[in-house]
């Protein structure tokens, strides 16, 4: 499933890469007169480098017109391309295969890089240089291994010096889907890595070819006028007097003569080792290379999150976006959260069912959140019971991570309280846990997860628990009753992150009952009527100073506890902190449109934009 713009680019890139590879493959085998090892080298490198590989092939190697390959490929820069292609085909194949295996095994990144280096070097040296080139070079297999060791070592060092930091920074960057071989992004990173490795290895290869230490491009033709089907291959002589040979497939081959001096080769070798060391180790200054694909593979981090070399995997998973691929249902703007949850009676016990899952929920006409939600609602369904009720709530976890439910403010048996790993084992995905208690209190309460609430409550897990008093006379009287559940959201690039007061975690959308103004409810009432507003701090991050226009309200209850008449007070703004509840009674004194809103003005915008006079935490009371 394509979830980010880069995914569309990658699809296009790999279609081009496939088309380029098919073209190079067909052209190589039909038209291009060169040894099979070079043909396969170009095919593999075009697969890895896509259109860039095709470009190199066309500019440096593809015979422009019949009979011209020898002259066409003679320039040193083209010989360098050939030598680098040859190196990259072997090394990159080894590196990529190792990367797939280490990611699957869940090895940490630092070990990953070492295995990749060894594998790339082994592939390049033992297979691509020594084995495939043996027929070209003549001599025994081990002679070839010995002769090609040093040039292969230098070339591989530069290759990995370019590829390792690209892999480290991009795989462990913001979008860590890049660590998973099952993701297109992983292969995109490999492509960029190979291109970077090629670029860094190219200058060294040019020099190695020029000094006769490595092979460049070769021409190998089936003789048309000869006496047999014997093949002739010609080594391009390049400026440095690289000797020309012919090759019959069973001759003793040829000796490359090098004019490179020991200090020259040693210096290049040392610099290649330094480049390799920097490429492998430097990323560890910024990235936690002790993590593996198992730890964080697949998660996408918010922009601006501080991720250093000591940031643990748990911290990354905590702040990662809700996975859009886990969404099991989508709801449009007309869907309402906080609906009263039906129950069934079993031996006098009111039995409720809660199922948290991942949904897509519309908070504005053009803004949807990927949310964790109870029963497909934001806020979760309202559990509305009466004081003295015996209730059982079966919680079945359909989330991709563990959860529990805490009944905030309730007096109940400790085992029913919800804190994960403190009073109960977390409810694992697919499991059910039953909470059962008798509601001895009455008033405004709520429920929320107590396993990773930093992440899962911020993604939408909360719901109101409204308990009517056993004695109706104890109810705070009003003509209208309206519950306000607050929430903060962080939505960027189409992804939803758990909003939190952390770098990169600041919210940019705010909702009352799952909608941002102007999509919030309008409360209709008449002059002289009273409205009871039950503010619930279901949000995680901020204290919201909730204000009502058009005259003061009386604060009648706090945290579910009804205030004695002498303790009640008038106010027009009340600070609703996370976890707090205030029941206030407001009287409509004049007709018109009066607002309930948060007094932090940023919280009455939608991503900093005001529409129809505001946004976010704002509700209109329409008094006639
Ligand atoms: Cu606010």
Q: Supply angle C-alpha 210, 216, 217, rounded to 5.
A: 140
Is residue 256 very low, low, confident or very high in pLDDT (cuts 50, 70, 90)? Answer: low
The mean pLDDT of the chain is 91
Distance (angstroms) between ligand 1 centre and the Cα of 613 equals: 16
Same structural domain for residues 500 and 431? no
Backbone angles phi, psi at 531, to 5 degrees: -125, 125
Cα 9 from Cα 208, distance rounded (Å): 36
Q: Look-up: residue for tokens 């902190």?
A: 577
19 CB contacts (<8 Å, ≥6 apart)?
Answer: none
- The pLDDT tens digits of the residues spanning 200-224 come to 999 999 999 999 888 888 888 776 5
- Average pLDDT, integer, range 402-421: 97
If you measure from the C-alpha of residue 617 to the centroid of ligand 1, how many angstroms do you get, rounded to a whole number?
Answer: 7
pLDDT at 226: 43
Question: Hey, CA dihedral for 58, 64, 69, 71, is it positive or negative?
Answer: negative
pLDDT at position 65 over 50: yes
Find the 611 Cα to ligand 1 centroid distance in Å.
17
pLDDT attached to residue 147:
80
Name the token pair of 404.
């529990």
Cβ burial, residue 228 (10 Å; 0-12/13-18/19+): exposed
- Is 466 strand, coil or helix? strand
Q: pLDDT digit string (tens) for 336-356?
A: 999 999 999 999 999 999 999
Mean pLDDT of 64-69: 90
Q: At 300, is the pLDDT very low, low, confident or very high (cuts 50, 70, 90)?
A: very high
Residues 464 and 497 occupy one common structural domain: no
379 cis-preceded (ω within 30 degrees of 0): yes
At which of 436, 471, 506 does a domain end? 471
User: What distance in angstroms lies between residue 380's CA and the mean position of ligand 1's atoms?
Assistant: 21
Instruction: Identify whether 129 is part of a domain.
Output: no
Distance 528 CA to ligand 1 centre (A): 29
Query: Is the sign of the CA dihedral 27, 33, 36, 38 positive or negative?
Result: negative
Distance 561 CA to ligand 1 centre (A): 23
Q: Ligand 1 centre and the CA of 577: distance in Å?
A: 9
Residue 497 clears pLDDT 60, i.e. is over it: yes
Q: Is the distance from CB of 24 to CB of 42 less than 8 angstroms?
A: yes
- The answer to the question of residue 173 being in a domain is no
Does a structural domain hold residue 476? Answer: no
What is the model's pLDDT at position 412? 97
Above 80 in pLDDT, residue 237? Answer: no
Question: What pLDDT score does 224 carry?
Answer: 54
Distance 176 CA to ligand 1 centre (A): 32
Greatest mean pLDDT among 100-104, 171-175, 372-376 lies in 372-376
In a domain, 330, yes or no: yes
Taking the centre of ligand 1 as the mean of its atom positions, its distance from the CA of residue 411, in whole angstroms, is: 29
DSSP-H helix ranges across 395-482: 453-456
Interval between CA 365 and ligand 1 midpoint (Å): 22
* Same structural domain, 400 and 454: yes
Total number of domains constituting the chain? 2
- Give which of 493, 314, 527 is closest to 401, Cα–Cα: 314
Ligand 1 centroid to Cα of residue 548, in Å, is 13
For residue 297, what pLDDT is reported? 81
Give the chain's largest Cα–Cα span: 118
CA 272 remoteness from chain centre: 33
CA 574 – ligand 1 centroid, Å: 11
Report the C-alpha gap between 135 and 127 in whole angstroms. Answer: 12
Cα 498 to averaged position of ligand 1 atoms, centre (Å): 17
pLDDT in tens, 541-599: 999 999 999 999 999 999 999 999 999 999 999 999 999 999 999 999 999 999 999 99
What spacing in Å lies between the alpha carbon of 544 and ligand 1's midpoint? Answer: 4
Measure 334 CA to ligand 1 centroid, in angstroms. Answer: 24
In angstroms, rounded to a whole number, what is the distance separating the alpha carbons of residues 363 and 378? 9
Q: Within 13 Å and on the Cβ side, how many CA atoms surround 600?
A: 19
Domain edge (last residue) among 420, 436, 471:
471
The verdict on 370 and 440 lying in the same domain is: yes
Q: Given this model, what pLDDT does residue 21 score?
A: 97
pTM, two decimals, is: 0.89
| pLDDT at residue 489, rounded to an integer | 98
Averaged pLDDT, 24-45: 91
Residue 350 lies in a domain: yes
pLDDT of residue 327: 96
Q: Ligand 1 centroid to 409 CA: how many Å?
A: 23
550 CA to middle of ligand 1, Å? Answer: 19
494 and 454 inside one domain: no
Q: Is residue 405 part of a domain?
A: yes
Closest CA to 237 of 447, 73, 460, 423: 73
Cα of 598 to ligand 1 centre, how many Å?
5
506 shares its domain with 377: no
201 and 155 Cβ atoms separated by less than 8 Å: yes
Alpha-carbon distance of 177 to 300, in angstroms, equals: 7
Ligand 1 geometric centre to CA of 614 (Å): 13
Confidence of residue 242 (pLDDT cuts 50, 70, 90): very low
Nearest in space to 395 (alpha carbons), one of 371, 424, 370: 424
- Considering the domain architecture, whether residues 337 and 389 belong to the same structural domain is answered as yes
Residue 135 has pLDDT above 70, yes or no: no
Residue in the structure block whose two tokens are 């490359």 = 256
Return all residues near 486 (Cβ < 8 A) that are at least 6 apart.
510, 511, 512, 535, 536, 537, 538, 539, 544, 576, 598, 617
Q: What share of the chain is helix, strand, coil (3-state, %, to 5)?
A: 35, 25, 35
User: What would the pLDDT profile of 307-319 be if each residue is shown by its tens digit?
Assistant: 999 999 999 999 9
Q: How far is the CA of 599 from the centre of ligand 1 (A)?
A: 6
- The residue with tokens 């896509």 is 50
Domain enclosing residue 523, as ranges: 490-623
> Is 138 domain-assigned?
no
- What pLDDT is stored for residue 143 in this prediction? 78
How many Å lie between the centroid of ligand 1 and the Cα of residue 541? 10
CA of 604 to the centre of ligand 1 (A): 8
Same domain for 503 and 601:
yes
Which strands sit side by side in the sheet containing 367-374, from one edge to the other?
A: 329-331, 356-364, 367-374
Q: Cα(579) to centroid of ligand 1, in Å?
A: 14
Chain position carrying tokens 């060791």: 149
The 10s digit of each residue's pLDDT in 413-460 is 999 999 999 999 999 999 999 999 999 999 999 999 999 999 999 999
Of the candidates 471, 502, 532, which is a domain's last residue? 471
Same domain, yes or no: 330 and 467: yes
Same domain, 450 and 500: no
Token pair, residue 459, equals 């993604």
Q: In angstroms, what CA-CA distances link 519 with 31, 512, 515? A: 65, 10, 6
Looking at residue 124, what is its pLDDT?
Answer: 84
- Between the CA of 510 and the centroid of ligand 1 the distance, in Å, is 8
Cα of 618 vs centre of ligand 1, distance in Å, is 10
Please tell me the predicted confidence (pLDDT) of residue 227. 41
Between the CA of 531 and the centroid of ligand 1 the distance, in Å, is 21
Q: Is the pLDDT of residue 299 over 90?
A: yes
What separation in Å is there between the alpha carbon of 520 and the centre of ligand 1?
A: 15
Q: Is the pLDDT of residue 260 over 90?
A: no
CATH for 428: 2.60.40.420
Report yes or no on 552 lying in a domain.
yes
Per-residue exposure over 361-376, b if at least 16 CB sit within 10 Å of its own CB, e if not: bbbbeebbbbbbbbbb
pLDDT for residue 138 is more than 80: no
Q: Helix axis angle, 36-49 relative to 76-105, nearest 10°?
A: 60
pLDDT greater than 90 at residue 232 = no
Peptide bond into 370 cis (omega under 30): no
Same domain as 422, residue 338: yes
Using the mean position of ligand 1's atoms as its centre, give its distance from the Cα of residue 260 in Å.
Answer: 72
Q: How far is the CA of 555 from the centre of ligand 1 (A)?
A: 19
Same domain, 463 and 504: no
pLDDT score of 251: 35
Q: In the chain, what percentage of residues exceed pLDDT 90?
A: 83
CA–centroid distance, residue 576 to ligand 1 (Å): 9
């Amino acid at each position: 499933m394509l979830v980010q713009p880069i995914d569309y680019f990658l699809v296009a890139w790999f279609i081009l890469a496939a088309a380029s590879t098919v073209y190079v493959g067909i052209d190589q085998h039909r038209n291009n007169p060169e040894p099979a090892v070079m043909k396969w080298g170009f095919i593999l490198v075009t697969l890895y480098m896509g259109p860039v590989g095709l470009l190199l092939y066309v500019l440096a190697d593809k015979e422009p017109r019949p009979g011209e390959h020898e002259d066409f490929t003679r320039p040193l820069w083209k010989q360098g391309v050939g030598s680098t292609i040859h190196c990259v085909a072997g090394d990159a194949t080894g590196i990529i295969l190792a990367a797939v295996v280490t990611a699957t095994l869940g090895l940490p990144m630092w070990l990953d890089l070492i295995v990749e280096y060894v594998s790339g070097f082994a592939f390049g040296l033992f297979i691509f240089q020594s084995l495939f080139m043996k027929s070209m070079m003549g001599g025994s297999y081990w002679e070839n291994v010995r002769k090609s060791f040093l040039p292969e070592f230098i070339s591989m060092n530069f290759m990995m010096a370019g590829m390792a930091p690209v892999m480290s920074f991009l795989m462990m960057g913001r979008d860590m889907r890049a660590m998973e071989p099952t993701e297109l992004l992983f292969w995109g990173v490999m492509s960029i890595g190979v291109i970077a490795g090629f670029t860094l290895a190219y200058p060294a290869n040019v020099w190695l070819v020029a000094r006769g230490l490595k092979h460049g491009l070769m021409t190998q033709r089936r003789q048309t006028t000869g006496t047999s089907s014997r093949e002739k291959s010609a080594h391009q002589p390049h400026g440095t007097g690289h000797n020309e040979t012919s090759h019959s497939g069973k001759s003793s081959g040829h000796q490359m003569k090098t004019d490179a001096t020991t200090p020259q080769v040693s210096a290049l070798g040392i610099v290649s080792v330094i480049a390799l060391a920097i490429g492998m180790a430097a990323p560890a200054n910024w990235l936690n290379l002790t993590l593996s694909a198992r730890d964080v593979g697949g998660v996408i981090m918010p922009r601006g999150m501080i991720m250093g070399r000591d940031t643990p995997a748990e911290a990354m998973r905590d702040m990662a976006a809700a996975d859009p691929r886990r969404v099991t249902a989508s709801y449009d703007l007309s869907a309402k959260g906080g609906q009263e949850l039906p129950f069934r009676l079993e031996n006098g016990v009111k039995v409720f069912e809660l199922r948290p899952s991942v949904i897509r929920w519309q908070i504005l006409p053009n803004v949807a959140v990927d949310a964790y939600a109870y029963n497909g609602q934001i806020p979760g369904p309202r559990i509305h019971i009466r004081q003295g009720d015996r209730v059982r709530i079966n919680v079945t976890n359909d989330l991709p991570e563990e959860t529990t439910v805490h009944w905030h403010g309730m007096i109940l048996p400790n085992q029913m309280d919800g804190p994960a790993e403190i009073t109960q084992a977390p409810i694992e995905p697919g499991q059910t846990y039953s909470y059962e208690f008798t509601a001895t209190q009455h008033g405004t309460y709520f429920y929320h997860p107590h396993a990773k609430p930093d992440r899962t409550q911020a993604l939408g897990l909360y719901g109101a628990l409204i308990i009517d008093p056993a004695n109706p006379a104890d109810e705070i009287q009003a003509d209208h009753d309206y519950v306000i559940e607050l929430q903060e959201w962080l939505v960027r690039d189409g992804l939803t992150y758990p909003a939190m007061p952390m770098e990169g975690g600041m919210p940019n959308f705010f909702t009352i009952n799952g909608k941002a103004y102007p999509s919030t409810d309008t409360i209709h009432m008449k002059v002289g009527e009273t409205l009871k507003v039950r503010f619930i701090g279901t949000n995680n991050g901020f204290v919201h100073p909730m204000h009502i226009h058009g005259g003061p309200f009386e604060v009648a209850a706090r945290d579910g506890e009804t205030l004695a008449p002498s303790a009640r007070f008038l106010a027009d703004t009340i600070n609703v902190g996370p976890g707090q509840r205030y029941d206030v009674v407001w009287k409509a004194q004049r007709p018109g449109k009066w607002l309930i809103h948060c007094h932090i003005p940023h919280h009455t915008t939608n991503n900093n934009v005001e529409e129809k006079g505001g946004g976010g935490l704002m509700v209109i009371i329409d008094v006639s």
